[in-house]
Amino acid sequence: MIKKVAILCRGKSLGVLNTLPNDIDLFILVNRFGNELKIEEVSSFLKDKLIYHVMSRTPGEPDEMIRHKHYSKYNIQKVIQPYTTHMKNPNDFSDGNNKYYKFIDDKFYFCGEDNPISAEWLGDHHIPHMETYQQRYPHHYPSSGNAAIGYAAFDLKPKEIYIVGMDFYDTTYLIDDGREWPIEDSNRMKQSLTKIIKECKNIKFKVFTCGNYNENIENLEITHFEEI
């Protein structure tokens, strides 16, 4: 039984990864993580841990991880696309990195390296928890990080969810790629997280962040860090 899940995003607060408790059952990486896994503190911490990977179809998203054989080096047991089948066609293998996916004996797999890894999409039970402001989708989470939190909360239903590296674009990534994000995106990520926390009163959420996120909710504990 999975009791404790940690969501790992790529913000500066990922640098406090080693402050997490030793009894986390599952770690969920969000989107491209190849450069972060080159950091010794991150790499050594995740070695031999049970890992899932929530990853969008953005072109190039898994390339660095594939190049360095990360899917073989680490115990990555599942890849989840942060979409329902109403948002993305599972059979459109020309869409972004969906070229790495295959159906084998009617089951869906991520085949970026030699050994196929079980893959899936978000079920329709996520739709009531999603947003509708993006015109390209009928429904969606604000970010893959929010989708990972939704997956952990509504599919895995653990007792505790730890969120590390989600800084809501209030700071740069731990490995700065130079991009800037609209304040609107930041606010919507925070609102989505708050909504999920309030809907899941039986789960304790613990957020480790360098971002400006402040909510007073009974099942939420926030630890703020200065930029690392």
Q: What is the DSSP string of 148-194?
A: HHHHIIIII--SEEEEES--TTSS-BSS-------HHHHHHHHHHHH
Q: List, in sequence order, every residue forming a beta bridge with 108; answer none if it has no partner.
A: 103
Q: Are 80 and 54 in contact (CB under 8 A)?
A: yes
143: amino acid identity, one letter = S
Residue 145's domain spans which residues?
A: 4-224
Angle between helices 144-151 and 183-199 (to 10 degrees): 10
The conformation of residue 29, written as its DSSP 8-state character, comes to E
> What pTM does this model have?
0.94
Q: Are 164 and 17 in contact (CB under 8 A)?
A: yes
Number of structural domains (the chain) is 1
Which pLDDT value is given to residue 173?
75
* Calpha distance 154→169 (Å, rounded): 25
Task: Please give the helix or strand (H or E) that residue 67 lies within, else none.
Answer: helix 63-67
In 3D space, the residue among 157, 61, 152 whose CA is nearest the CA of residue 110 turns out to be 61
Q: Are 65 and 41 in contact (CB under 8 A)?
A: no
* Calpha distance 26→83 (Å, rounded): 21
Which pLDDT value is given to residue 195?
97
Task: Please give the helix or strand (H or E) that residue 40 lies within, else none.
Answer: helix 40-46
**What is the token pair recorded at 24?**
């986390």
pLDDT in 10s for each residue of the chain, 228 residues: 899 999 999 999 999 999 999 999 999 999 999 999 999 999 999 999 999 999 999 999 999 999 999 999 999 999 999 999 999 988 888 888 899 999 999 999 999 999 999 999 999 999 999 999 999 999 999 999 999 999 999 999 999 999 999 999 888 777 656 555 555 688 999 999 999 999 999 999 999 999 999 999 999 999 998 865
177: amino acid identity, one letter = D
